[in-house]
Amino acid sequence: MKNTSAASAKRLLESAQRLKALMNALPAGIAFSTDETCTYITGNPYLLEHLEMASGDNISLDANIADKKLRHFIGGKEVTGAELPMQRAIAERRQVGPLEIEVEAPSGNRWAHEAIGAPIYDENGKVISAVLVNMDLTEKRKASEAARLERFLEQQRKKIDFIADAAHELRTPLAIIKGNVDLAIRGGLTDKASIEETLRAIDHEVLHLDRLLADLTLLTADRGEFKSKVGAHLIDIGLLVEGIAKRHEGFALKKTVSMCIDTLPDVQVIGDERHLERLFSNIVSNAISYGKPGGSVWISGRIEGDKILIDIKDDGIGISKNALPHIFERFYRAESSRSKDTGGTGLGLAIVKWISEAHGGSVNATSTEGGGSTFTVTFPLAS
Ligand SMILES: Nc1ncnc2c1ncn2[C@@H]1O[C@H](COP(=O)(O)OP(=O)(O)OP(=O)(O)O)[C@@H](O)[C@H]1O
Ligand SMILES: [Mg+2]
């Protein structure tokens, strides 16, 4: 009997020593109250160091150690001891936190940490004290600040790229116009036919510039501003898509691509007719341009819940795995289509994405290189 109690006392001592070693080594703050009133609170070395306290100091807020004042702030507001997680855990008989707390140490230095308080019960379920765990927030805050800065720099880099790309695209038509005007000034246009040809070339480039500027204006407009400018009318979306597809039949014929147009669901969406036409026209013309001679373009629609999904599918050159995530970016053109001279600028799909999102919808593409592509546009139905 004596032996057994000596052995259990030894085990108890050993586990107390292990606990002490763990508390001393832990890179997190731990605090205990000696009773349920929290009038005496002690902490491990990590916590004491952050609070600028010495071993044995009572770190209870109400302890009032003459020159060692601690102040606690939650959400920037100074709080009393009763509002801290440990005291609340006892009063509310539950775990409290994690709460973000700033402690002002006696020197005025502030320590930001996250704290969790938990009650400690006796064998009868009565709360007898509490424990507190604190985790440093400085590193976490530094990391989120760095991530925020990185996001900001990324946005700035994108803006610079966009301006550079736009300037590059505008330069080409301007150079052609300048070349033709120079030719006219030098008296190089002697007959009526060459004058007419030059003016036609200039006119073509002016139109191109006009379209480009309209696209750039749309893509740089604030989305909220756009929403207030575009119409919000009830649109028979099926009829609109069928109309667009029919208008592309001539272009498809020229490319020897056949158009297969399903009867689309007879439903309505809320939106702007001109912009929706633009959206579908961009996707359908891509499907034909990047289609396969002798191939087909299929247009179909289906209803899923309170949405309409419209698929535009082709069996053309397809899009590589590497290019697919980028096709909706402004000025992006896949390698395969840059060599295929379609005269595009790479703004078409950026506009598609922009318009669909401004209408509360979305656009998605699936494709395999050499195996064709499917573009799916989703819109909420008008209720
Ligand atoms: N149906 C498709 N099949 C294969 N590639 C496609 C298809 N649609 C788009 N792409 C790829 O995505 C790129 C971006 O398309 P987007 O419509 O934005 O630009 P674009 O057609 O090159 O020029 P534009 O601004 O005149 O439309 C294309 O250059 C092409 O590489
Ligand atoms: Mg295009």
pLDDT tens digits, 74-99: 999 999 888 999 999 999 999 998 99
* Domain edges within the chain: 2-136, 143-220, 227-380
pLDDT-based confidence at 373, cuts 50/70/90? very high
Q: Which of 169, 289, 314, 349 to mutate to test the pocket of ligand 1 (most atoms within 8 A of CB)?
A: 349
Please determine, looking at this structure, whether the domain spanning 227-380 carries the CATH number 3.30.565.10: yes
pLDDT band for 291, please (50, 70, 90 cuts): very high
Tell me the C-alpha distance between 28 and 44, whole Å. Answer: 9
Q: Are strands 258-261 and 296-304 parallel, antiparallel or unpaired?
A: parallel
| Distance from the alpha carbon of residue 347 to the mean position of ligand 2, in angstroms | 7
Residue 21's pLDDT band, with cuts at 50, 70 and 90, is: confident
How many helices (H) and strands (E) would you count in the chain?
A: 11, 14
**Are 143-220 and 227-380 in the same CATH fold?**
no
- Mean pLDDT (whole number) for 206-232: 76
Report the atom number in ligand 1 closest to the C-alpha of 346: 19
Q: Show the tokens assigned to 292.
A: 């396969």
Backbone angles phi, psi at 301, to 5 degrees: -145, 155
Tell me the average pLDDT across 199-206.
Answer: 90
For range 179-184, the mean pLDDT: 89
Share of the chain above pLDDT 70, in %: 93
Q: Which CATH number fits domain 143-220: 1.10.287.130, 1.10.10.10, 2.40.110.10, 3.30.1330.10?
A: 1.10.287.130
Winning range, highest mean pLDDT, from 119-133, 203-217, 323-337, 365-379: 365-379
Please state whether the predicted TM-score (pTM) of the whole model is above 0.85. no
Indicate if the pLDDT at residue 5 is higher than 80: no
Q: What superfamily would CATH give domain 2-136?
A: PAS domain (3.30.450.20)
Q: Of 302, 300, 307, nearest to 359 (Cα)?
A: 307
- Ligand 1 atom, smallest distance to 333 CA: 29
> Is any atom of ligand 1 closer than 6 Å to the C-beta of 314?
yes
